Amino acid sequence: MTFTDEAQAGGIALVERTDVSVVDMWGEIDIALRNEASAALARAFERDLPVVVDTSRVTFIDSAGVAFLVQLCRIGRDEGLRVSLHRPPAAVLDVLRMLDLDVPPDTVGDWGATPARTSPAPSAPTAPHSLAG
């Protein structure tokens, strides 16, 4: 595999900022990235900070990639940590819509100042097909 192939194949990495954990995703997101996804997920929640998932450079995402996004959102919710998508491209939004997964507007945004921990939401029902679960 050449450098060009690797760059186009895609990747997932955690970028540790002082105020937020950034899960950086680029290129083609599929089952081949399961080890990178697992490592990023584990480390992101060990830090006990809000998580921003930067999908702005994703060109393709399959069911494994969508499952990873759903898992990030659910664990974040369970831990009381905010998880937000940063600039999701059409490649991501189209797949989420096709699967009838709602992306709440407040989860799509910039890396603004967000409290490290949010108070747990009351046990209100969520949309049956919500990305956040």
Model pLDDT for residues 103-124, shown as the tens digit of each residue: 655 555 544 433 344 433 333 3
C-alpha–C-alpha distance, residues 74 and 121, integer Å:
13
Instruction: Summarize the confidence of residues 84-90 as an average pLDDT.
Output: 89
- Domain assignment present for residue 48? The answer is yes
pLDDT (0 to 100) of residue 87? 86
More confident residue, 130 or 102: 102
The domain in which residue 28 lies consists of: 3-107
How many domains are there within the chain? 1
- Domain assignment present for residue 117? The answer is no
Q: List the CATH number of the domain containing 41.
A: 3.30.750.24
- Domain assignment present for residue 122? The answer is no
Per-residue model confidence as pLDDT tens digits over 36-68: 999 999 999 999 999 999 999 999 999 999 999
Cβ within 8 Å of residue 55, ≥6 positions away: 25, 61, 69, 85, 86, 87, 88, 89, 92
The pTM is what?
0.74
The percent of residues in the chain predicted with pLDDT above 90, rounded, is 55
Read off the pLDDT band of 97 (50, 70, 90).
Answer: confident
- Domain assignment present for residue 21? The answer is yes
- Domain assignment present for residue 115? The answer is no
